Copies of this chain bind each other. A is one copy, B any other.
Amino acid sequence: MSKLTDVPKRILIGRALRSDRLGETLLPKRIALPVFASDPLSSVAYAPGEVLLVLSIAGVSAYHFSPWIAVAVVVLMFTVVASYRQNVHAYPSGGGDYEVANTNLGPKAGLTVASALLVDYVLTVAVSISSGIENLGSAIPFVVEHKVFCAIAVILLLTLMNLRGVKESGTLFAIPTYVFVAGVFTMIAWGAFRALVLDDTMRAPTAEYVIKPEHQGLAGFALLFLLLRAFSSGCAALTGVEAISNGVPAFRKPKSRNAATTLALMGLLAVTMFCGIIGLAMATKVHMAENPAADLFRDGVPVGPDYVQHPVISQVAEAVFGEGSFLFIVLAAATALVLFLAANTAYNGFPLLGSILAQDRYLPRQLHTRGDRLAFSNGIVLLAGAAMLLVWIYGADSTRLIQLYIVGVFVSFTLSQIGMVRHWNRHLSTERDPAKRRHMVRSRAINAFGAFFTGLVLVVVLVTKFSHGAWVALLGMCIFYATMTAIRKHYDRVAEEIAAPEGPPGDDIVRPSRVHSVVLISKIHRPTLRALAYAKLLRSDTLEALSVNVDPAETKALREEWERRGIDVPLKVLDSPYREITRPVIEYVKSLRNESPRDAVSVIIPEYVVGHWYEHLLHNQSALRLKGRLLFTPGVMVTSVPYQLQSSEAAKRRARRRQEWNAPGSVRRGPAQERAKESSQST
């Protein structure tokens, strides 16, 4: 049936890749870093700006708090990194936050984390793309002028790439990420050099602007609240830190050690860039307002609605490298690119998490099988759809989207850290070796602090951002949570219903004693003859051919040919005053069942196999409907005897291609063989 949808897909998505070709190689640290860290690293492109934006509410004077906020973010970053280094050591199999929470805190917590992560992935796409567009826009004005359009275009592009099953190569990630990092560091270094050594004054394009504070001279609690809000905006820099902990299996041995090192390296890079950019922003007097149109003044007049407020990183770059200079352009491009890559990571994470959830029967089971194109496609399309919706609703404005962003992240941080504490407790209760114990206690302490701190931040984020949009994220989480619980309930109910009682097979089921086989015949041709031949092979107790009389003439002809060919199977013809096919057959089958309730009826249907969906419309329709109905009739089994028409070759090829498809995110999950070996143990 998927044939129908297949044609357009083919056109868009093109020929797919062989899945065995995927990542036979494990990732060295230098590649693993960009592959897993593009998300957290790229977030320094917007996080610093968000801090300034919030502070600007209390007027530019509040900017001098920014270093302190930066410090807070740094401390948080180190905490989180330290905590996840423990995860990495504890779960070398690459147990993500979901598994950690699930195994240590039970399914409810696990499901909460899962919902949080799913929402998070959606927002990663929305935020990263929007911010990427804004950065690109600082170099190419057209892009910001058609922000939403461009953002959605990029999302569509990524979606197609991932549906296409593009083989995600380490280098693809490495180059832009390293260019970005290098660029930012050059900027910081060169900026520092100019400021301190050459001592020449660098001015951001908005340096001369004046900010009209929304609340003049905030103080006391109000100020504190504002600072907390600024801080939680800054926390955007931590998004995606957990990525590595999911990807441990993809690392070279010693996996855990390498992963931990990479994690640390990533944290170090991130905080340095974060602080560097904040510092330069101060030095170059960047002025950003939460709603520039009204609160930002150029020569005494408000800049007005069509003023485009460029991201802090590009303003700084402009100040340091000079407007439109080569390096400025390069950095802008690299920033945009790395942000798009960050979005792409969600395309890998989302379906992957989906398949894990499916394993636990929280999502349709078919999402479970890996490399199953349809499964992943569904996930990808869902993700893209949700992201595009958000981008469209929020006008691709990263600032507004970020309000939704950080909740999910910290929900999963907190729960996974609490889970880790439990984890260590459990192990400590059994572990006797003092050295190991000491180590565990240390880890537990770290995780405990992590849990406490991230939990605190979560509260802060909720309090400061709830009305600004965090509630949307929470709503999203609830929806995911509810849906998944419902699905799980359904599966459990069914499992209960079909559970087999103990004792020899099927004792409880009325074990049929005999089979009465019926071959459906419309005309006499190869398909029906084959069906008859096969039916005979299955030595059922009785066998008869069944035809429905919709056209007396045809029926007559059929009977005659039947005689002439001397087919040694009795032919029964049902009358059908309404020229129906389904009803008479169903009723006949039912009557058979009534005559001898302990018998099973096996209905054998000859079927054409065709190559194209439009051919499908021309064949088997009544057979299909009949099968559909028969399935509802108890004590019946339905056998299709396919007859492959020449045209079916085409479809066969298509099906093969669809199967030889490469699931996204293979690299970050490590080579498939490996994992298979690890777990294979059957004949």
A511 proximal to B (CB < 8 A)? yes
A594 proximal to B (CB < 8 A)? no
Which residues of the partner chain B approach A500 to less than 8 Å between Cβ atoms? 524-526, 528-529
Which residues of the partner chain B approach A556 to less than 8 Å between Cβ atoms? 681-682
- Residue-by-residue, is A592-636 near B (CB-CB < 8 Å gives 1, otherwise 0)? 000000001010100111000001011101101101111110101
A32 to chain B, nearest CB (A): 23
Interface centre among A374, A506, A617, A638 (most CB of B within 10 A): A506
Decide: A369 and B639 in contact? CB cutoff 8 A.
no
Which residues of the partner chain B approach A511 to less than 8 Å between Cβ atoms? 533
Which residues of the partner chain B approach A533 to less than 8 Å between Cβ atoms? 505-506, 509, 511-512
A514 to chain B, nearest CB (A): 7
Which residues of the partner chain B approach A368 to less than 8 Å between Cβ atoms? 550, 579
Decide: A672 and B638 in contact? CB cutoff 8 A.
no
Give complex CA distance A372, B645 in Å.
27
Beyond A364-B618, A533-B506, is A609–B632 a contact (Cβ under 8 Å)? yes
A542 to chain B, nearest CB (A): 12
- Residue-by-residue, is A573-599 near B (CB-CB < 8 Å gives 1, otherwise 0)? 101011111110000000000000000
A646 proximal to B (CB < 8 A)? yes
Q: Which of A508-557 contact B (CB under 8 A)?
A: 508-509, 511-512, 514-515, 524-530, 532-534, 537-540, 549-552, 555-556
- Residue-by-residue, is A73-112 near B (CB-CB < 8 Å gives 1, otherwise 0)? 0000000000000000000000000000000000000000
Give complex CA distance A526, B509 in Å.
8
Pick from B366, B577, B636: contact of A622, CB under 8 Å: B366
Give complex CA distance A371, B583 in Å.
11
Which residues of the partner chain B approach A525 to less than 8 Å between Cβ atoms? 495, 498-500
A642 to chain B, nearest CB (A): 4
Pick from B369, B550, B637: contact of A550, CB under 8 Å: B369
A491 proximal to B (CB < 8 A)? yes
Which residues of the partner chain B approach A196 to less than 8 Å between Cβ atoms? none
Which residues of the partner chain B approach A581 to less than 8 Å between Cβ atoms? 369
Give complex CA distance A583, B238 in Å.
41
Give complex CA distance A500, B521 in Å.
13
Decide: A673 and B577 in contact? CB cutoff 8 A.
yes
Which residues of the partner chain B approach A421 to less than 8 Å between Cβ atoms? none
A438 proximal to B (CB < 8 A)? no
Q: Smallest CB-CB separation from A655: which chain B residue?
A: B629
Rank and list the top 8 A-B pairs by shortest CB-CB distance, nearest first.
Answer: A577-B676, A366-B621, A506-B529, A631-B642, A370-B579, A639-B639, A498-B525, A549-B682
Decide: A615 and B490 in contact? CB cutoff 8 A.
yes
What are 27 A-B pairs at a CB distance below 8 A?
A1-B624, A1-B628, A2-B628, A359-B551, A365-B622, A366-B622, A369-B580, A369-B581, A370-B579, A370-B580, A371-B579, A498-B527, A500-B529, A504-B565, A505-B565, A509-B526, A512-B537, A515-B534, A515-B538, A534-B600, A534-B602, A538-B539, A538-B540, A552-B680, A572-B683, A632-B651, A639-B639
Give complex CA distance A173, B511 in Å.
57
Q: Smallest CB-CB separation from A361: which chain B residue?
A: B618
A567 proximal to B (CB < 8 A)? yes
A64 proximal to B (CB < 8 A)? no
A640 proximal to B (CB < 8 A)? yes
A31 proximal to B (CB < 8 A)? no
Give complex CA distance A142, B561 in Å.
66
A643 proximal to B (CB < 8 A)? yes
Which residues of the partner chain B approach A526 to less than 8 Å between Cβ atoms? 498-500, 506, 508-509
Beyond A505-B529, A577-B672, A676-B577, is A641–B637 a contact (Cβ under 8 Å)? yes
A648 proximal to B (CB < 8 A)? yes
Decide: B642 and A640 in contact? CB cutoff 8 A.
no
Which residues of the partner chain B approach A502 to less than 8 Å between Cβ atoms? 565
Decide: B550 and A532 in contact? CB cutoff 8 A.
no
Give complex CA distance A673, B579 in Å.
11
Give complex CA distance A680, B553 in Å.
9
Pick from B577, B582, B681: contact of A680, CB under 8 Å: B577
Give complex CA distance A622, B559 in Å.
40
A659 proximal to B (CB < 8 A)? yes
A429 proximal to B (CB < 8 A)? no
- Residue-by-residue, is A198-228 near B (CB-CB < 8 Å gives 1, otherwise 0)? 0000000000000000000000000000000
Which residues of the partner chain B approach A532 to less than 8 Å between Cβ atoms? 505-506
Give complex CA distance A360, B639 in Å.
29
Beyond A537-B514, A637-B641, is A567–B369 a contact (Cβ under 8 Å)? no
Give complex CA distance A509, B607 in Å.
16
Q: Smallest CB-CB separation from A603: which chain B residue?
A: B639
A497 proximal to B (CB < 8 A)? yes
A679 proximal to B (CB < 8 A)? yes
A426 proximal to B (CB < 8 A)? no
A566 proximal to B (CB < 8 A)? yes
Interface centre among A498, A540, A575 (most CB of B within 10 A): A498
- Residue-by-residue, is A1-15 near B (CB-CB < 8 Å gives 1, otherwise 0)? 110000000000000
Decide: A487 and B618 in contact? CB cutoff 8 A.
yes
A197 proximal to B (CB < 8 A)? no
Q: Which of A647-683 contact B (CB under 8 A)?
A: 648, 651-652, 655, 659, 672-673, 676, 679-683
A134 to chain B, nearest CB (A): 38
A19 proximal to B (CB < 8 A)? yes
Pick from B629, B645, B659: contact of A582, CB under 8 Å: B659
Which residues of the partner chain B approach A524 to less than 8 Å between Cβ atoms? 500
Give complex CA distance A582, B368 in Å.
13
A435 proximal to B (CB < 8 A)? no
A644 proximal to B (CB < 8 A)? yes
Give complex CA distance A287, B586 in Å.
65
A663 to chain B, nearest CB (A): 9
A636 to chain B, nearest CB (A): 7
A652 to chain B, nearest CB (A): 5
Decide: A631 and B602 in contact? CB cutoff 8 A.
no
Pick from B369, B565, B573, B636: contact of A642, CB under 8 Å: B636
Which residues of the partner chain B approach A683 to less than 8 Å between Cβ atoms? 572-573, 575
